[in-house]
Every structure is written in structure tokens, then in C-alpha cells.
Structure 1
Amino acid sequence: MKKIINPERESWNQLLQRPTQTVENIEKTVNQIFKDVQRQGDKAISKYTSMFDGVELKNLAVSKSEIESAASRVPENLKRAIQVAKNNIEAFHQAQKTDRVEVETVKGVQCWQEKRPIQKVGLYIPGGTAPLFSSVLMLAIPAKIAGCENIVLCSPPNKQGQLADEILYTAQICGVTNVIKVGGIQAIAGLTFGTETIPQVYKIFGPGNQFVTVAKQLATKFGVAIDMPAGPSELLVVADDSANAVYVASDLLSQAEHGVDSQVILVSTSKTLIEAVEVEINKQISVLPRKAIAEKAIDNSRLIYVEDDATALQLINAYAPEHFIICCENEDFYVNGTINAGSVFIGNYTPESAGDYASGTNHTLPTNGFSRAYSGVNLDSFNKSITFQKISEEGIKNIGPAIELMAGAEGLQAHKNAVTLRLNDLTN
């Protein structure tokens, strides 16, 4: 990891850049695949699955018997672990339900807001080097709680044309409606346009690589909503001498092993801690099964020393991390001062892995600085808020004159007339 001591503020933008390709390098490919899928449906899906995943598939949809067979192969102890996570995620997201909001803004004018589920949602579950069955929990559980009618899951097949048993088992217990063996750009295109096999959806959720992220953004041009731009994983840890260097190194490596384009950053007011963490990273990375991936991510990463907490917090908010771990004596200062972050983990015994799997919070989070404006996935992500109003005779008398004046001032005579006609009837 590159070590930086007291970086000048003028250098922060360059220092905090993510290791991502520019959109221009990706858009051409994404556009071409979208056009092909829009025109040729399943035929194009199969072509790109063969090209990118190296497998020829006769059927894109996963059958009920395939799911049942896969579920039978998942070890019982893993099933119990998944159930623990499921219970906690359900508890946290169930608690996010809100009652109808109702107010009489003026006598006779009743306004209220109610939530309605998005009927058709698509869940993208990365496969590749790590089939993320935990993401099935994070997306399907709130979708089910919200009341979404159709929950379509897409995930890339392996070389044998199969999805991981754990993905299929988790989809089964979470109430997923359709499971499709398709990944990458072509999966997002399929969910956007619909094909013979893939149902068209109204909103697409889920993490993915840079190609998937750009594909999701392109989907919005065709009237399909997305959860957020969620690309390669990232983690920032702020730590001082009260932190455990062994734990800090393990947290940094837990994100570095996600992918070669992941990024991890340590910000610290202690040079001693930075040295200790650097030693620990070299020690722990040597025995990781995904060492080669983690090493490449570590090359993209930073160890940054700053002199005080105030500077550290400003740097962190400028970076706007996806995951943010606080291991400092003055933790309240960081908690209260955090403005830009996807999800925050506090204290020496709160590893980021807890949020990834089983604490209950959602791990589908904004990356690449998007936490400045986006929230992570939550129950509201699967709902729409619809406003209602009902106005009585007394109510229209109370607000009618104001509406007439405003509509007239904007030159919208028909708007004014819609009120005037009513008021005239009530006064005659």
C-alpha cells in the first residue's frame, strides 16, 4: 500500500481517486450489447453468455427441480448460518416499515402519504470469483417484506452452466419468483427489455463490476429505475493508537479480496499504528486463498497519516466511502461528523464482515463517492410513496382564492378556472 504523510489538501482529489476505468471505455460495449438484446432477446443473451462465461445453455431459467436439488446439497451448518443472517436482516428491515402519514393542512384539506410496493424487481447477484449468496438475502428479503409481486434473480453461470447451490437455496427460502442463469451486461439488458425467458422489471438492484454499473445506468434511459450506481467494493478505516492493528489489517484485507479493482484506505493519526498495520497486512495476505486478487487491490490502496481528527474527518467525508470503520478513542466525534458514507461500523469488535453477512444492515451500498447523494438499499428502495388528498367544500373555499391568484400569476387560466367554477357553484 502506498504510504502518504500529511497530504496537502490540494492533492486530496488525486489521492482519493478510485482505480476504475473511465465510462467512455465501457459505454461502447454496453450500448452494443443492449441493442443486441433489445432486437434478438434470448438469442443475444445466449451469445454473450457463451462469449463471456464460456458456456452454452439450452435453458436460461432455473427449474424448480434444480433449485430443490441444489438446496439438498447445502450443508446443514451453512443453512443454519444463513437462517441466522436471514432472521437479523428481516428484523432490521421489518422495523423500517412506516405508518400512513396524514395531516389536515387547513380545515377541509386532507393530505396523506402511503407506501406501495414496486411490482416487478430484478436482483443482480454477482457470481464470478465469488458467488455472493449473501446478496440474495440483502435484496430478496426487503423485496418480500415490501410486498413486491415478481422478484426476478439473475446471476452468471459457471463453466458447467450452473449457479452456486447456496445462491439457489437462499433464493428459495427468500421467496424469489424467477431465477435466471445470466450475468453481466446482458443480464441487465434482459431485465430492462424483457426477453422470451427474462421478465421485464421496473427496477434493478444489486452490486456488480464496472460493466454492470454502467449497464444499470444505461437501463435508466429506457425507463427502468436502479437502486444506485454500485461498483467495485471499497473500505475506509480511521484508527488511532486505541485500535488493534491485527483487526484493522484483517478488515482492510476483507475488502481487498473482493476484486482487483477494489480499494481500501487507512486514515490514522498514529504513525506507529500505520507501521503495525502494514506489517500485519503483509503477514495476513500471505496465507489468503485469494492472495493474488488481494495483492492487486492493495496496489490501489493507501495508508494515510494526518495530524488530527478534524483533518481526518474532512478527508473521509471528501472520499465518501462505501464502508467506513471507526476505531478511535474519540469515536463520537467521527460518528456525529460523518456526512458521506454508505454504512458505518464502530469499534474494535465491529468488523465490516458483520454488515456483509449477518448483523442485519444491508450490504448493497453506494460506491465510487456516490454516498454523497445515495443511500444504501433499504426497505423504502422497494416502495413508492404515493400522496393522496381529499378536499371538502369548506376546504376549497379556504385554499381556492390562493390557487386562483397563483394560477393567474403564472398565466395558466385553465388551472384558475378549475377552481373558480367550483367556488362559483358554492356561492350561488
Structure 2
Amino acid sequence: MNNILTRIVLLIIFSFTILNSWTNAQWLDVSSNVSVNLKDVCFSDSSNGWAIGSNSTILHTNDGGFIWTMQTCPLVNQSLNKVFFLNKDFGVIAADKGLILRTRDGGIHWEESTFDTIVNFKDICFIDTSLGWVVGGSINKTGKNFGFILKTMDGGLNWSKQYETDTTLSYSEGNFTAIKFSDEKKGYAFTSSSGAQLYTTIDGGTNWYKKGSFFYGISNMDVFGDTIWVSGQGFASTVNQGQTWSYNSVLGGGVQDLVMLDGNNGFIISAWLNDKRLLSTKNGGLSWEDIWVYDGAVFLAMYINPLNNFICLVGSNGRIVINKSFLTAIVDSPRLTEMSMHLFQNFPNPFNPITNIKFRISAPGYYSLIVYSSIGEEVMRSINYYSRAGIYNIIFDGKSLSTGVYIFNLIGKNGSLSNKMLIQK
């Protein structure tokens, strides 16, 4: 009897050990061969990724995050803060001292542009290989924070100032720390000082409007539909452009990064004192659950791709961790479709008879672009074949069609996206 009990106990211990080892094995610490703070990470596809950070560090992987190699940076001893790659060739980096880098060959060569050496750029966003924005700020001689929003229309070669915060006010409007655009026209930006101010635009940044404010500093932002999520000293969301906020302190604050997959599912990295966690929400941030309570160097940024179940985290002391089987619990999320393809509003609209329909494909596959009349009759089928990742522009000729509303629909393996357009003759 004792032998049987002993075997059962040993079997339970052995099974637990195997299960625990399997679980831990999902989180793989990989070597970066650097000891600097890695501040951001971005992948253009399932193979190619970049991690950037202090001391002008640019790392590249072409095997999905297992092996990282140093790329040559033209800057010396600079802090690189944000990296954005639209495809495996085109990428941009926002840095301190008014510096912006861009590459058109996957980082083999980097081109440098300078705006104002007093400005530290904190975030960057591109819609396509031409149109993008960068934000940042600094402190002027009177001790006030000020911020800038810059725009490029030639892929980052030249930048023009769209907005500058007012330093003549009795209070500080703060530095810009985060920016997001959902299309060529609609964008959001945040300043962060003792409080945070939301700015919005509906014309591509020609005009920026102050909206609601938030009483905590903001370092990261994500947008899905009409909901805006922000993180920094805690986590909060708003559905009315900042007039009211739903706030969650999340273990006391110290949220390093934020990624929302849709209106409900999202992830944050939280580091508060010695409490370091990766957490998830399934209700838009109202409550959070631990995914991983970790030790060692603090993570500062993460990249998540639900299409291939992948996460990469980077942080202090050159730490990089990947997990290739991460999102098994999340299925059929609307953001899966959004991340794999994006359908822009046609331009011009209304039109007669020619317009451009542009869309972005992030993963190769079979895609179709179909135009329907308002009663559901198919009037055009432009593509129905295997397409590589990239940006496509279809010229639509409506000369044979009558005045009215038409629906254009992009269909891929993860779902479909649609928009309306108006022929006006």
C-alpha cells in the first residue's frame, strides 16, 4: 500500500514538473549580445523584426526573434525611442536630439534627418510609405514643457511642423508622447506633463483640436473604433474623446506598454517596485489577469501578432524574450482582420468617374476586392489571386455607373473589410 502511495505521489510530482517545465519553456530568453536598455520592438512579418534602444542600438532578426544581430546606426550615443516598420524594407526610428532615421532596405542603410536638437521624439506613426507623423518635445529656457507634431509626405525625407504647444500660457501643456492615426485623416495625440491632454484631428493634422484631459502622465496609447486606451501611471480608457475616463491603477501604476487587440482583449506590461507582470484583459481594461509574473530585467515594450500567435518583449539590460504559442485563448477577434489587412477610404470621394481604392496587406494570401451597388449587385472584381504583403492602389473607373452609393469590399482569409463611396455625376 505504501509503495502504491509513493508511486502516486512521485507520479504527481513528475507530472507537475513536466507541466511546469513545458509552461516555462514557452517563454524563451534569447541573447541580444547587448546590455543597453531596449525601448521598443517591431516586426514587419513573421521573420523580420527590429529592437532599438540606448546608445544608438539597432538590432535585427530575420528568423522570428531567435537570433539578433547589430545594424549600423549613423548616430553616436543617442537614445532611440520608437521604431516603426511598414514592411521588411521601409522603417523609421524616432530618437532624441531632434533626430529621425529612415531606411528603405530593411536597415542595411539608415538615412538621418534633424528637426531641432532640443526636441526628443517619443512616438511615430505611418499610414503608408509616404505619409507619417512624429511627436516629441522638450523644456525651454523658462522651464516650461513644449511639444511638437511633425508630418512627412515623402516617407520621412522631409518633415514639416503641424502643431506646437503654447508656451505663453501660465501652465505647461506638456510634451507630446504618443500619436495614432486610424487613416489618412483621423488621428489622436497626447501630451504628458503633470497631466495629459488629448488632441484630435479629422483632416490629417492640418488642424488639431484640444479635447479631454487626464490627470496622469501618458506614455502609450492604442485606439480601436471610438475607444482610446492610454497607459503610463496606470491604465485608462475613454469613449468620448477624454471627457470622462475609466481608470484602473493596475497594481499601483508603472505600466510600461499597452497593446489592445480589439475592444475587449488587450495586454499590458506592469512594473511597480519589485512586482513585474504581463497581464491581459478580456473586458476592455475593467479587470486584469496575470499571464506571467516574471523575474529579472524589466520589460519596456512588446510586440504582439495574433495571426501567428507570437509575442516579443524587450527591456533593460538588453533583455529579449519571445513566445511562439502565446494567444491560444484568443480566437475570432476583429483585430485579427484589422492587423492582416487595412482598407482605406477611397480618394477622391465623392468622385466622377475616377477614384483610387487603396489597401494594405500585412500577410501574404488570397485576397479579393469587390465593388457592389447599394442593392448588392456586383459591379467590379479587381483582384482574386495570391498577393504578397504590401500596399496596393486600385484605380476604379465608374464611367459606366449611375450616380449613387457603392460599397467596396476587401476579402481575406481572416475576414473582410468594407467602405462606402459616392459617384456624383
Into which bin does the TM-score normalised by the smaller protein fall?
Answer: under 0.3
TM-score by length of 2: 0.24
TM-score by length of 1: 0.24
Q: Which has the higher strand share?
A: 2
